[in-house]
Homo-oligomer: A and B are copies of this chain.
């Protein structure tokens, strides 16, 4: 489903090599000041062109084409589009028949009976995260009291990111990484039992980001190796402040007033220069594929701003839902 959220609802559309990618956001309160330049900083953080990222560069100019008037949100659905300018007209027919390992090529072909737009991954492309980042910029404005900051804390198993990337580039290989996201200023009480726990909503969005294969909140997997007496966070203030934060700011699925902390595991970029074995759909036999062009050595470099975006989107929706239920 291309739509997510109950009140702050986003709908995403577009393809990597089609005319554009875009997002429509419904449920935004009217009167939020917004200008195209508000997107610049986050779009730049997502942008490729830095060391370890692909040299395909797009202008990434946001065009606000609906729901926006006199520099403010109107309350009507807000649509933001990004035109694709830098698509190369190279021959993609090869990729159609020889699905790249680790990519969506094979499943997209099967699921959509061969009608999928396979150019650059089509609708499954990481380029769609542009729409997420845009929706995140707006979401951050809906919840100005909350601060969100994500960073890459590990790449290829190393905390020295630059070194890890250098090594991988020498080997013509790619590496993954771990992104940690922390949000503060979250009121107590966000998250809805039974199914819309704060973790549920955030993880739902996190796994919509291509390349994410794991998520953990607070101590996460380490918690499974702790004792209850170690893991339990003692509440020490009426504000809900706890002495430790093993819960990562969420108890019983509901935000507890402490910083939200989660980490996501980003797999290594699937496109690598090394030759790989994969099925030729046409012949039904295994072929050797060499993915041409240059690619992100470490796609995780570009994930922090996307992680912030999905956090902002999730919290904006949960906060608006909570407001609705408060009978005051």
Contacts and interface: CB of A to CB of B under 8 A. Distances in A.
Nearest to A107: B254
Nearest to A325: B29
Contact of A74 (B116, B192, B266): B116
Contacts of A7: 6-7, 321, 324-325
> Which of A3, A26, A224, A234 is most buried by chain B, counting CB atoms within 10 A of its CB?
A224
A116 B176 contact: no
A274 to B, nearest CB: 5
A219 B157 CA distance: 14
Interface residues of A, number: 155
Nearest to A203: B203
Nearest to A299: B228
Contacts of A274: 228-229
Given A193-B2, A321-B324, A13 B177 contact: no
Nearest to A178: B224
B69 A116 contact: yes
A305 interface: no
A17 B63 CA distance: 16
A110 B240 contact: yes
A171 B226 CA distance: 13
10 contacts: A76-B122, A102-B232, A108-B252, A175-B228, A178-B221, A214-B216, A224-B266, A229-B274, A243-B277, A323-B326
Contacts of A210: 252-253
A62 interface: no
Interface in A40-61: none
A213 B207 contact: no
